[in-house]
A = this chain, B = another copy of it.
Amino acid sequence: MSTGRLEAFSDGVIAIIITIMVLEMKVPHEGADLASLRPLLPVFLSYVLSFVYLGIYWNNHHHMLHVTKRVSGSVLWANLHLLFWLSLVPFTTAWMGENHFAAAPMALYGVVLLMAAIAYWILQRSILCKEGPDSLLAEAVGNDLKGKISPVLYLIAIPCAFVSPWISGGLYILVALLWLIPDQRIERTMHEHTETTP
């Protein structure tokens, strides 16, 4: 089976997850001055962080499926599993924002990120399994350093939330920045292939 419909469905779900998060920024019903927006600041900041995370997932998902040729039933389910954890992001984002980055919401945010990272890794493995070790994807993924560091950082951030939520927050931002530095592995690999095949 081709990847077309898998991509379309994932795009739909991720697009809705992103947009649903905005609904948590409740319009202040009383008060039309800029001061009435101040209580929304933590909600806005959590929205920005989660938007970046979902953007990273969409971007990496896009790159990965771009070099995938066929998908099997197990890949479909691995993908749904990833979407399940991502679908919980709006909930944890809202809980975190409304409670001004308190300990428990910060920890839960990390748990959902950790589960999503694991789900992404499972998806990657099940695609690699089908594509083979000599595939373009296997070469592009390489030793997958970022993919290995991120879960470790989440695992550190989760208990840290109960010591100081700021440590967890800093770690979540760090992981996001790590991924924002464009992941040019797949692009580079494809470029090399194009160059060697003139």
Q: Which residues of A contact B (CB under 8 A)?
A: 1, 5, 7-9, 11-20, 22-25, 27-29, 32-34, 37, 48, 51, 55, 58-59, 62-63, 66, 72-74, 76-77, 80, 83-84, 87-88, 90-91, 94-95, 98-99, 102-105, 108, 180, 182-184, 187
Q: Which residues of B contact A51 (CB under 8 A)?
A: 80, 84, 87
The answer to whether B5 and A7 touch across the interface, beta carbons within 8 angstroms, is yes
Q: Is the CB of B9 within 8 A of A98?
A: no
**Residues on the B chain within 8 Å of A33, using CB:** 103-104
The smallest C-beta distance from A189 to any residue of chain B, in angstroms, reads 13
Q: Which of A32, A66, A182 has the most CB of B within 10 A?
A: A32
Interface centre among A5, A25, A187 (most CB of B within 10 A): A5
Q: How far is the CB of A164 from chain B (nearest CB, A)?
A: 15
Cβ contact of A23, chosen from B20, B95, B108, cutoff 8 A: B20
Min CB gap A13→B, angstroms: 5
**With A22-B87, A23-B20, A59-B76 given, is the CB distance from A9 to B1 under 8 Å?**
no
Q: A102 and B32 in contact (CB under 8 A), knowing A5-B7, A91-B27? A: yes
Q: Pick 10 A–B contacts, CB within 8 A, sort by A.
A: A1-B62, A8-B8, A9-B14, A16-B19, A22-B87, A32-B105, A48-B84, A51-B80, A63-B73, A77-B180
What distance in Å separates the Cβ of A140 from its nearest Cβ neighbour in chain B? 13
In the complex, what's the smallest C-beta–C-beta distance from A70 to chain B, in angstroms? 11
How far apart are A94's CB and chain B's nearest CB, in angstroms? 4
State how many angstroms separate the Cβ of A20 from the closest Cβ of chain B. Answer: 6
Give the chain B neighbours of A23 by CB distance below 8 A.
20, 23, 90
| Interface hub of A9, A74, A83, A105 (most chain B Cβ within 10 A) | A9
User: Is there an interface contact between B20 and A22, defined as CB atoms closer than 8 Å?
Assistant: yes
Pick from B25, B27, B94: contact of A98, CB under 8 Å: B27
